Amino acid sequence: YQTLRLILGDQLNASHSWYKTINDSTLYVIAELHQETSYVKHHVQKVCAFFAAMQEFSHALKKAGHHVVHLTLDDTLPHEDLPALLGALFEKYAIETFEYQLPDEYRLRTQLSDFCAYCKLSTRGYETEHFYLSDSELTTYFSAGKKHRLEAFYRKMRVRFNILMNNGQPAGGEWNFDTSNRNKLKQKDLSHIPEPLVFANDVSDIFSRVKKHQISTFGTYESKCLWPITRQQAKALLFSFCETQLSKFGFFQDAMTCKADDMYVKKQWSLYHSRLSFAMNSKIISPKFVVDTVIAYFHQHEDEIDIAQVEGFIRQIVGWREFVRGIYWLNMPRYGQLNTLAAKRDLPVWFWHGETKMNCQKHAVKQSLDYAYAHHIQRLMVTGNFCLIAGIEPSQVDAWYLGIYIDAIEWVEMPNTRGMSQFADGGIVGSKAYAASGNYINKMSDYCSSCHYEIKSITGHNACPLNSLYWHFMHEHEQQFSANPRNRMVYATWRKKSPEQQTEILQHASGLLGNLDKL
Ligand code: FAD
Ligand code: SF4
């Protein structure tokens, strides 16, 4: 072979221009790398899903006539890391040219570019051809350290890619229909929640390898991987989303329930969310394909689906997904060190097993351990909010999110976690800290009625811990937050409390903060 082309585990893009022609002198390499299993402790389903999807991708390429080497953990064991493996492969196959697609993680991109700087072969990095915005144009939309806002970026993207536009104006007359979304699930809604489409991909061989190599993982093992690992499965999931969930996506986007799973729909855990993040982040399916399919479906069913639902969904992909990627690349590696609020407490132990008396946290953590999945509001307003108001050190929060979720790859995980949810970036991603008391959870879920704690109490033995932690957090950061007009009401409410009440709340919170593992 003359050329070796490396395909990383999150580069399973069958539409890439690499594959348009078959070249007998090109060897493709897909490898289960030990270094990728250990840079953070991963959920076992995440490791199995990535390895299974890589295996499927290599079969598909071979079937199409390409020359492919698929290496398992057994094969890559002798090589210390990716550069060592590549060096050995260059020698074995007398390679003259090395080509790769630009990694989406800073860690890997640096590793490969350092390797290429010393490599004697000719080397070339390609765009992944996955995102709406190419790598090279991110600098025209983002600047390092600048506070960017989603809305302005999103509108530019809609116009540039002509998405949901009518003669230069947003379809439906509004850019954003958020106000018609965000409803709570009422009792009568629970029986209508569709059962999630899941797959049953056998990953028992992969799991045996993971165990044999003593890869440290956590979470519930499922011998049948529920996630789409082929393009065909990803498309099936997308079509099922259009048919069963799209019409209510925005409406119940922020809702949470602990009742649907045991009372109505067996194994209901994702409500009206698409669960397409794994398929998109591994690049099995492209954001453009998802968006085009959803819009085409909407146009065929305009009498059943209203634009608010479609716009809400599109915004997540054309807006947030591309937005956080720009923030990541323009701010790394500094971004990974930011800790504006100087948070320094340890992540409570129950994040690893879910045994806490707080019903909301228990449900979000256990579901994440069971399915490697939680929807956005569970991540942001349940576990994320807890870590924020309890002052948990952002690197520990990042590591947990990066490990546990099926879709967690640093370029998307970190701006969401360290930025949006922990405000550790001081507002580069979001204009304010998403801090909330138990009141928010009570408004958007049915967790509180069956909780050990009392939602209406701020202090006292059984008071909802989120209430006093919230006030403690807002009080602690008053100097920084009070300048934001969006916080004016909050501080006005705090000042209305008597000094005795304030002291009691702060003392109660301090007691909890010293005992987070026991909550
Ligand atoms: P849906 O609700 O169906 O949304 C559709 C798609 O929109 C998603 O598949 C995703 O590609 C995109 N999307 C939605 N919200 C965001 C967002 N905030 N940022 C980027 N893309 C978005 N998403 C990841 O893909 N990987 C992560 O590691 C990740 N970590 C997160 C950590 C925290 C603390 C928070 C608050 C959010 C995180 N998100 C992450 C964003 C979001 O929660 C997930 O994309 C979403 O829950 C995936 O489920 P879904 O496919 O059912 O999404
Ligand atoms: Fe969560 Fe507080 Fe409600 Fe319990 S009472 S579920 S801890 S918000």
Query: Using CA atoms, how far apart are residues 24 and 486, in angstroms rounded to an integer?
Result: 61
| pLDDT tens readout for residues 32-50 | 999 999 999 999 999 999 9
Query: Using CA atoms, how far apart are residues 275 and 467, in angstroms rounded to an integer?
Result: 31
Instruction: Please report, for the chain, the start and end positions of each structural domain, with discontinuous segments joined by +.
Output: 3-126, 135-194+245-331, 349-518
Residue 346's contacts (CB-CB under 8 Å, 6 or more residues apart) are 392, 393, 396, 516
Contact 172, 302 (CB under 8 A): no
Residue 263 has pLDDT above 90, yes or no: no
- The pLDDT confidence band at residue 260, using thresholds 50, 70 and 90, is low
Mutate to test the pocket of ligand 1, among 253, 316, 425 (most ligand atoms within 8 A of CB): 316
The residue among 423, 517, 422 whose CA lies nearest residue 465 is: 517
The residue among 516, 506, 519 whose CA lies nearest residue 458 is: 506
The domain made up of 3-126 is a member of CATH 3.40.50.620: yes
Mean pLDDT value across residues 474-494: 93
Q: Which residues are registered as beta bridge partners of 101? A: 126
- With a Cβ cut-off of 6 Å, ligand 2 is lined by 358-360, 438, 441-442, 447-448, 451, 453, 455, 464, 466
CA angle 9, 15, 17 (to 5 degrees): 100
Instruction: Using the mean position of ligand 2's atoms as its centre, give its distance from the Cα of residue 267 in Å.
Output: 23
Instruction: Using the mean position of ligand 2's atoms as its centre, give its distance from the Cα of residue 61 in Å.
Output: 50
Mutate to test the pocket of ligand 2, among 359, 444, 456 (most ligand atoms within 8 A of CB): 359
* Count of C-beta atoms within a 10 Å radius of residue 173: 9
User: Of ligand 1's atoms, which has the minimum distance to the CA of residue 383?
Assistant: 34
pLDDT for residue 261: 59
Contact 394, 340 (CB under 8 A): no
Mean pLDDT value across residues 435-440: 96
Give the H/E segment covering residue 123. Answer: strand 122-126
Q: Which fold has domain 135-194+245-331?
A: 1.25.40
What are the strands of the beta sheet with 97-101, ordered from one edge? 67-71, 26-31, 3-7, 97-101, 122-126
Tell me the percentage of the chain whose pLDDT exceeds 70: 98
Instruction: Using the mean position of ligand 1's atoms as its centre, give its distance from the Cα of residue 408 in Å.
Output: 9
| pLDDT tens readout for residues 392-409 | 999 999 999 999 999 999
Contact 471, 487 (CB under 8 A): no
At the top level of CATH, the class of 349-518 is mainly alpha
Instruction: Using the mean position of ligand 1's atoms as its centre, give its distance from the Cα of residue 29 in Å.
Output: 29
- β-strands 201-202, 224-225 pairing: antiparallel
